[in-house]
């Protein structure tokens, strides 16, 4: 529109940051978020890490010692919901002041955002699709309408199967778009930079895709005219890729992050398909990266070996997935820290183009992408088997007809000059990331 400032384009490279999900679970406390943000600012931000995402149930009043599963609400015989989520008069959730004390006196999450911005970081927020069931019960008025109430826009059929806080929003109803507009207006007031909308799909049921609500969020962000990254979860089938690229910046390609080796192997299949639609402002999201530490809460942690962690980060970098760390950052191991501060490796995620899987068997995989100079190739060799194996790269397969200088990126070691082929011995479940530069 002529004369109206347009927001800056977002997610021109895959976002890099941290999510509170695994470390803190739904009991995220503000001081713990700040501790992780401090670590990021002091140790990781110089290497491109900048987003701090407060994950789900920040409005739920569960105590930090509650280490149970998803914090669902119960319904009393009279129809009331317990415990009540913190909510304003227009059916918009607010942070629980016990967990986020700086939110008192109606300040919401703006003080936390200000703290993060003061560190040079950016603020992300997890949001569930829909409208709170307790708002529907209370018939709260929708902001920006003439008396339309929450019960008049609720979709009580299409609900989240794993968290019972919300009903869907029936986008055919008057007031539905105004509700989503009011949400984004609130998040804009909090200075949110990144919003992850969950339950836009359904685990184990790829036929479920709430496209009308995806479109509603996109429209609300556009009307806000503030640069906000829009991330869509849950996993989506590739058939929805065109719609996702049109409306979202990030889109999940699998269910919740893999927790064992067989699930990690499956990411190669998803990645090979979704890498074809990666472009500036639109990135396939392979989900979180719980590298090198245990969660802070008393919940099961990841059990990946160093080799498997290297494989995981290498695939995420080659795929150009967002890189969202998961775990208590101050407990990061020296090995993981060496990966997360390797600027050459992270540049593959941030700067490369045309990512693609070159070859794949059940035991081996080779990925390639193009470096910014237009000649050098980033090449990842993966041993997916349970035994040590040699993996051979044929240089002509990546467009280098004669000789190449080859460097091990994670190992920070020059491997030498090679003709026609390069063979590397890899341990089980391990990977090597190479820069392959043609010799003229």
Contact yes or no for 95/108 (Cβ under 8 A): yes
Closest CA to 154 of 129, 136, 127, 177: 136
pLDDT value of position 25: 72
- The DSSP bridge pattern shows strands 250-252 and 229-232 to be parallel
Closest CA to 15 of 342, 323, 351, 325: 323
User: For 416, left (φ over 0), alpha (ψ -120 to 50), or beta?
Assistant: left
- The DSSP bridge pattern shows strands 194-198 and 74-75 to be unpaired
Helix (H) or strand (E) holding 213: helix 211-224
Domains, the chain, in order of start with CATH, read 16-351 (3.20.20.70), 358-439 (2.60.40.1180)
Give residue 2's pLDDT band: very low, low, confident or very high (50, 70, 90). very low
For residue range 216-241, list pLDDT tens digits in order: 999 999 999 899 999 999 888 899 99
pLDDT above 90 for 290: no
Determine if the pTM surpasses 0.75: yes
pLDDT value of position 300: 52
Residue 178 C-beta-side C-alpha neighbours within 13 Å = 17
Q: Looking at residues 399-424, what average pLDDT do you find? A: 97
pLDDT value of position 231: 98
Q: At residue 438, what are phi and psi to the nearest 5 degrees?
A: -65, 145
The top-scoring range by mean pLDDT among 10-24, 201-215, 236-250, 423-437 is: 423-437
The mean-pLDDT minimum among 35-39, 125-129, 144-148, 294-298 falls in 294-298
Could you tell me which residue, 155 or 296, shows the higher pLDDT?
A: 155
Residue 310 Cα distances to 88, 289, 317, 376, 383, angstroms: 45, 11, 11, 22, 11
pLDDT above 70 for 315: yes
Q: Which residues contact 251 (CB under 8 A, 6 or more apart)?
A: 231, 232, 236, 241, 244, 245, 282, 283, 284, 285
Q: Looking at residues 356-374, what average pLDDT do you find? A: 97
Annotate 261-314 with DSSP letters as a single string.
HHHHHHHHHHHHHHGGG-BTTBEEE---B--S---SSSS------HHHHHHHHH
- What is the DSSP code (8-state) at residue 209? B
pLDDT value of position 5: 55
Q: Which residues contact 319 (CB under 8 A, 6 or more apart)?
A: 271, 274, 275, 278, 284, 286, 355, 367
pLDDT above 70 for 366: yes
- Kindly state the tokens that stand for 16: 């890099």
For residue range 52-110, list pLDDT tens digits in order: 999 988 999 976 556 567 899 999 999 999 999 999 999 999 999 999 999 999 999 99
Q: Looking at residues 259-287, what average pLDDT do you find? A: 93
């Amino acid at each position: 529109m002529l004369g109206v400032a347009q927001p800056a384009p977002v997610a021109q490279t895959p976002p890099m940051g941290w999510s509170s999900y695994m470390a803190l679970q739904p009991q995220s406390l503000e001081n713990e978020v700040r501790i992780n943000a401090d670590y990021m600012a002091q140790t990781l931000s110089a290497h491109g890490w900048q987003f701090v995402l407060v994950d789900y149930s920040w409005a739920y009043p569960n105590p930090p010692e509650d280490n149970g599963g998803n914090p669902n609400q119960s319904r009393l015989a009279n129809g009331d919901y317990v415990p009540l989520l913190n909510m304003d008069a227009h059916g918009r959730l607010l942070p629980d002041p016990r967990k986020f004390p700086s939110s008192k006196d109606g300040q919401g999450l703006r003080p936390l955002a200000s703290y993060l911005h003061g560190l040079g970081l950016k603020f992300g927020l997890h949001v569930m699709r829909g409208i709170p069931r307790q708002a529907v019960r209370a018939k709260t008025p929708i902001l920006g309408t003439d008396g339309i109430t929450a019960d008049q826009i609720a979709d009580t059929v299409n609900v989240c199967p794993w968290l019972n806080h919300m009903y869907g929003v029936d986008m055919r109803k008057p007031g539905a778009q105004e509700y989503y507009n009011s949400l984004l207006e609130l998040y804009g007031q909090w200075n949110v930079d990144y919003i992850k909308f969950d339950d836009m799909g359904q685990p184990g049921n790829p036929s479920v895709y709430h496209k009308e609500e995806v479109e509603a969020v996109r429209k609300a962000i556009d009307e806000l005219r503030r640069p906000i990254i829009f991330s869509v979860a849950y996993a989506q089938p590739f058939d929805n890729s065109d719609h996702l690229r049109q409306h979202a910046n990030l889109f999940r390609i699998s269910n919740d992050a893999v927790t064992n080796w067989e699930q990690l192997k499956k990411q190669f299949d998803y990645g090979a398909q979704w890498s074809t639609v990666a472009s500036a402002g639109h990135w396939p999201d392979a989900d979180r990266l719980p590298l090198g530490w245990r969660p802070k809460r008393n919940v099961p942690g990841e059990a990946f070996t160093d080799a498997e962690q290297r494989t995981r980060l290498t695939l995420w970098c080659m795929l150009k997935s967002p890189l969202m760390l998961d775990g208590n950052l101050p407990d990061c191991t020296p090995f993981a820290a060496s990966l997360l501060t390797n600027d050459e490796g992270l540049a593959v995620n941030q700067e490369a183009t045309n990512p693609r899987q070159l070859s794949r068997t059940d035991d081996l995989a080779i990925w390639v992408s193009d470096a910014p100079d237009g000649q050098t190739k980033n090449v990842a060799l993966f041993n997916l088997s349970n035994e040590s194996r040699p993996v051979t790269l044929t240089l002509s397969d990546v467009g280098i007809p004669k000789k190449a200088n080859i460097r091990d990126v994670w190992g920070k070691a020059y491997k030498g000059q090679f003709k026609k082929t390069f063979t590397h011995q890899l341990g089980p479940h391990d990977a090597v990331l190479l820069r392959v530069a043609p010799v003229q």
